[in-house]
Amino acid sequence: MTKTDTADVSATVAQIHELEAAGCQIIRCAVPDEKAAYALGEIKKQINIPLVADIHFNYKLAVISAEMGVDKLRINPGNIGDLDKIKTVVAAAKERKIPIRIGVNAGSLEKEIKRKHGEVSAKALVESALKNIKILEDLKFKDIVISIKATSIPITIAAYRMLAKKVKYPLHVGITEAGIPRIGAVRSAVGIGVLLAEGLGDTIRVSLTGDPVEEVRVGYEILKSLELIKHGLTILSCPTCGRCDIDVEAIAEEVEERTREIKTPLKVAIMGCEVNGPGEAADSDVGLAGGRGVGLIFRRGEVVRKVAEDEMVDALVDEIESLAIK
Ligand code: SF4
């Protein structure tokens, strides 16, 4: 999701281009007012990935967004108000053949459902989702995507499991308000990871308090960790111990920074010592192991080069790039 003022077209487009370069495949923009809704038309023209309009309550903003050519609407019909307004939004989506994502969120659960259940729970979230689905289905609209997000990971997981047994619509999964990057990445990986490992989830969003590019990077790491996709480098590095001869952390950070643009799937290992390094990382395509004053470059566990300590990062990056070109 973009974090710019949507009405500021140039800032929003610039951020989307950055996200596209990081591998983002679908982008959502908040639409708080008409200025933002009308800006979507120009934004759509300047980007290369599908654009989702994120709307709360105001049906007019959904209609304008649809007219501006967005590819999906995120709006909860139950929050729009009377039936005529919902019908207007559904007609706009039908006319342009765009899906509607029902985005149930623990923070904005309907009051009556909250009252009935006494607290936010998986059952309450699923009841809200089913209620919203029924509104659309009654209007013969079935181009639906659903998300049910909560800050509680056990509640989110339970809700998706429960919902997946009841409906067959695509699921967008994420952990909302996951936190600052280090904490949010772990929380997202646990929540999204469990669901994806069970085969639940068609699109994902990592929500971090910070740079949205980091959200995309974390999303890819989750997908790569579960071996659901092959994309760019997977950089493994040892935790270091008393045998360590090099600054593994600094080297791994530098290598990651310098090879971010590479899309070829390669496993790279950075290991602190030559005693265990190449052997422990034998299934890596390429790697570096520290030695006293030297670095050993290895491929699939076999040492191919020995370089001076001050040349080892360059040597490793060269090896990676030579494999990436092929
Ligand atoms: S690779 Fe070497 S330095 Fe790294 S943890 Fe293993 S034994 Fe220790």
* 294 in a structural domain: yes
Tens of pLDDT, residue by residue over 52-85, are: 999 988 999 999 999 999 999 999 887 888 899 9
* 2 in a structural domain: no
Provide mean pLDDT across the span 121-125: 94
Ligand 1 pocket at CB < 6 A: 238-241, 243-244, 271-273, 275-277, 280
Instruction: Give, for ligand 1, the residue of 236, 237, 244, 292 to mutate: max count of ligand atoms closer than 8 Å to Cβ.
Output: 244
Per-residue pLDDT, 195: 98
CA of residue 134 relative to chain centroid, distance: 28
Res 153 pLDDT > 90: yes
Same domain (yes/no): 49, 171:
yes
Same domain (yes/no): 82, 144:
yes
Residue 27's pLDDT band, with cuts at 50, 70 and 90, is very high
Same domain (yes/no): 176, 245:
no
Question: What's the start-to-end Cα distance of the chain, in Å?
Answer: 34
* 4 in a structural domain: no
Choose between 214 and 81: higher pLDDT: 214
- Domain extent, residue 310, equals 233-325
Per-residue pLDDT, 266: 93
Choose between 49 and 108: higher pLDDT: 49
Ligand 1 centroid – CA 194 distance (Å):
30
* 153 in a structural domain: yes
Residue 236's pLDDT band, with cuts at 50, 70 and 90, is very high
* 166 in a structural domain: yes
Ligand 1 centroid – CA 273 distance (Å):
5
CB atoms within 10 A of CB 98: 19
Res 49 pLDDT > 70: yes
Question: Looking at residue 292, which CATH number applies to its domain?
Answer: 3.30.413.10
Same domain (yes/no): 214, 237:
no
Instruction: For ligand 1, atom 6, name the residue with the nearest CA.
Output: 276
Instruction: For ligand 1, atom 5, name the residue with the nearest CA.
Output: 240
Domain end position, chosen among 194, 225, 256: 225
Instruction: Give, for ligand 1, the residue of 238, 288, 298 to mutate: max count of ligand atoms closer than 8 Å to Cβ.
Output: 238
User: For ligand 1, what atom is nearest to the CA of residue 275?
Assistant: 2
Ligand 1 centroid – CA 274 distance (Å):
8
Tens of pLDDT, residue by residue over 279-302, are: 777 889 999 998 888 899 989 888
Res 115 pLDDT > 70: yes
Provide mean pLDDT across the span 5-26: 97
Domain end position, chosen among 225, 259, 294: 225
Residue 107's pLDDT band, with cuts at 50, 70 and 90, is confident
* 182 in a structural domain: yes
Handedness of CA 107, 144, 19, 222 (dihedral sign): positive
Question: Looking at residue 62, which CATH number applies to its domain?
Answer: 3.20.20.20
Same domain (yes/no): 197, 265:
no
Per-residue pLDDT, 142: 96
Per-residue pLDDT, 300: 84
Same domain (yes/no): 205, 262:
no
Ligand 1 centroid – CA 252 distance (Å):
14
Provide mean pLDDT across the span 97-110: 90
In the chain, how many domains are there? 2
Mean of all residue pLDDT scores within the chain: 93
Q: What is the dihedral of CA 283, 287, 289, 293, to 10 degrees?
A: 160
Same domain (yes/no): 101, 178:
yes
Same domain (yes/no): 139, 267:
no
Domain end position, chosen among 192, 225, 258: 225
Ligand 1 centroid – CA 189 distance (Å):
26
Same domain (yes/no): 259, 317:
yes
Instruction: For ligand 1, atom 7, name the residue with the nearest CA.
Output: 276
Choose between 277 and 123: higher pLDDT: 123
* 3 in a structural domain: no
Same domain (yes/no): 42, 185:
yes
User: HSE of 89 in the Cβ direction (CA atoms, 13 Å)?
Assistant: 31
What percentage of the chain has pLDDT greater than the value 90? 76
Ligand 1 centroid – CA 242 distance (Å):
8
Provide mean pLDDT across the span 214-238: 93
Pairing label, strands 233-237, 302-308: unpaired
Same domain (yes/no): 189, 52:
yes
Instruction: Give, for ligand 1, the residue of 275, 284, 298 to mutate: max count of ligand atoms closer than 8 Å to Cβ.
Output: 275
What percentage of the chain has pLDDT greater than the value 70? 99
Same domain (yes/no): 219, 244:
no
Choose between 120 and 74: higher pLDDT: 74
* 60 in a structural domain: yes
Please list the alpha-helical segments (H only) found in 47-199: 59-67, 83-95, 111-117, 122-138, 153-166, 181-197
Ligand 1 centroid – CA 280 distance (Å):
9
Per-residue pLDDT, 326: 53
